[in-house]
Structure formats: structure tokens, C-alpha cells
Amino acid sequence: MDSCFSHRTAIITGAGRGIGLCIAQLFLKAGANVVIAEHSAELQSSAEAFLNAPDKFFFSATDVASESSVQSMAEDAVRRFGRIDFLIHNAATACNQPMDRLTWEQWQAVLAVNLSGAFLCAKHCKEQLEKNRGAIVNIASTRALMSEPNTEAYSASKGGLVALTRALSISLAPKVRVNCISPGWIVTDAYQHGCQHTKLSAQDHAQHPAGRVGRPEDVAEMVLYLCSDKAGFVTGQNIVIDGGMTTKMIYS
């Protein structure tokens, strides 16, 4: 248990499975209370069984694209645990398809969750985070820095999230530190509540300068570091965790 997390509270959006669930698990192991703000209510029972810490966390069915839903979640967190110290915006959605088939509503829906949701969560946790000199970590993506075809909405939302992180780090300074993480290829099978098994080839691993594909723990450990007292001089940064792929020149 890390004493800097004991009796403190972390809100993690989109934490019913995947990277978010891994982050929740590490916060609990470090001694923090955890609020899982998750839109998919059907993930509640599986997340509760996986974490197995009923006194230390609760599941809040939250639509981060709805201001009233976010406000209610933040108020519930304070009622349950008395405080908010850390906000991890991990919730994300995608609609990757050719631009001429991407509707305006689909575009707006992706930005509403991935980008506007981060703003709404920061807005409604601001008072508590400032009071407790807390930290925000937004989960962006290397798609903010490089792209594949037909990812306009997702890439734009993640690029915006990097910019929002920097803006928040100045607006909330010096009381709240704000950083973001841009993961690359992360295989989340172990945190998906099922028998999902991603088939990885030797080449999948070898193409990464680090020699392997990423794991949720690679991201979660950085989240805890950025929220800890050890990162007290780190704010306004985008930390890329991609095994070196965005550094590698690739020519065909």
C-alpha cells in the first residue's frame, strides 16, 4: 500500500473493463477508494466480482457526454467517500469508417465522449481536486500523433484531449496537476471479463522497439506515478507509451 493514496479517492471513467479496469485495480491495491464511472451498466457485476473490494469502490452508471450525469456522479463520489483526489478520464468510443459515410451525429458522438466528457468531468471535480491538491490524468492515444485511414473522429478527439490537458494544466495550476498518456497498441484481454484471446504473432511483438506489444499495466503504472507525490514536478505533459513505435521510421 502506498501511503500517498491511502484514504484518497480516484474517479476513473470507462473503467468497467480494459485499461480502465486495470487502473482501478492498481489504485485499490495502493489503498485508494475508487469510483468506476462507466456508461455500460451491464459491466457492473463483472467489474465488482473482478475487483472484489466492496467497501473501497462503487460503480456509477455514468454517461460522460451528459453534464447532469457527470455532476451526479461527482456528487455521489463525495457523499460516499467524502472527497475526490484523482480524476482519470479513460472513457472512449470510436466510429472508424470512410469520411463520406461518417454522419455528423457519429462525429459528434465520438467527440462528446472522448473530448467533451473530459472537460465535463474536470469541471465538476474541479472544486474537490483544488481543495485536495489532486491530479488529473487523461488517456489520449498515439492516434493524436499519427494515424491510419478513416479515423478522423477518433484522432481529432484524442488530439483535442492532448490540447485540453495542456490548457487545464495552466487553468488549474498550481493546485491541480494535469497530464495525459497516449498509449499505443495495448492488448487488454486479461481485463475483458471473458475468454477473449488476441492472436499475436512474433512480428507483432518484434516490430516494437521495446520488443513486445503493450499491456494494460504499462499504462496503469504510469497513471499511478503521475498521481503520486513523486510526480509533483510533472504537469502539462503527454506521456507516450507505445513501445517506441512513434519514434520509429517506417518506409515501404
Q: All 3 cell numbers of residue 137?
A: 490524468
Q: Has 154 been annotated as catalytic?
A: yes
Report yes or no: 153 and 110 within 8 Å, Cβ to Cβ. yes
Show Cβ contacts of residue 166 under 8 Å, excluding neighbours closer than 6 positions: 178, 236
Cβ burial of 88 (10 Å; 0-12, 13-18, 19+) is buried
Report yes or no: 16 and 38 within 8 Å, Cβ to Cβ. yes
**Active-site position among 154, 191, 225, 251:** 154
Report yes or no: 228 and 2 within 8 Å, Cβ to Cβ. yes
Which residues belong to the active site? Answer: 154
